[in-house]
Amino acid sequence: MRDHKVMHGVYIRTGMIASLVIFVLLFLFVPYAEPKPYELKKEIITMVEEISQLMEKFEEPPPVERPKVAVEAESEVAEEAVETIAATEFQEDLIRTRPTGPAIEIVPYYKVEVKPQPINIPKPRYPDLARRAGIEGTTVVKALVDIDGSIIEVKVLKSSGNQMLDQAALAAARKAKFTPAKQRDKYVRVYVSIPMRFQLTGG
């Protein structure tokens, strides 16, 4: 008696070969059925001639040729046209622009030979809402001193912890005035720190 577990591989190979042979025989001996061409159920009538006739009606007319010879205007008409033009006075309004030059150097404060000195540092306006709420604090503003001593840029270096006090300190710092800074006998820009203290009377 054969052991089917041992013959398992033989059975598989034999079955595959037998199926391949049957497939080749069917391919060779079964006649090929040629498909029938598709036939339209309804007859389609072309109307090319009628469409072309309709399109001719909508064709654009040929462009009209312009006269090649220029026609001179009568001198009397030209003279009258000149006389009817009223004399007008027009003054061109030129926008004056500030002349541009080389960029001004910004030198760190510790490197400046002649440091800027405060001339006028206005006292910041105490916001009414902050005053009524009893809010106090100190805002340190970083300001850029220009070559003429004016302030051209401000930003909060150290916040007081309240936005209203910081905004009031920035507004006051913009109006501050300093002596210009010098570096090698040349005016330069420099950043300075301006502390703005907000304290209630008797606090």
Q: Is the CB of residue 137 less than 8 Å from the CB of residue 163?
A: no
Predicted confidence band at 97 (pLDDT cuts at 50, 70, 90)? very low
More reliable by pLDDT, 202 or 158:
158
Mean pLDDT in residue range 94-104: 52
For 118, what's the count of Cα atoms within 13 Å in the CB-facing half-sphere? 12
Report how far residue 169's alpha carbon sits from residue 93's, in angstroms, rounded to the nearest whole number: 40
The DSSP output letter for 109 is G
Share of the chain above pLDDT 70, in %: 63
pLDDT tens string 106-154: 989 999 999 999 999 999 999 999 999 999 999 999 999 999 999 999 9
Q: Which CATH superfamily is domain 109-198 in?
A: TonB (3.30.2420.10)
Share of the chain above pLDDT 90, in %: 44
Q: Which helix (H) or strand (E) holds 168?
A: helix 163-174
- Helix H segments across 30-96? 48-57, 75-84
Mean pLDDT in residue range 14-25: 87
141: nearest Cα among 175, 161, 169, 108: 169
Report domain extents, the chain.
Answer: 109-198
pLDDT at 172: 96
Residue keyed to tokens 């006649």: 31
Query: Is 90 exceeded by the pLDDT of residue 79?
Result: no
Q: Which two tokens stand for residue 137?
A: 């604090």
More reliable by pLDDT, 104 or 189:
189
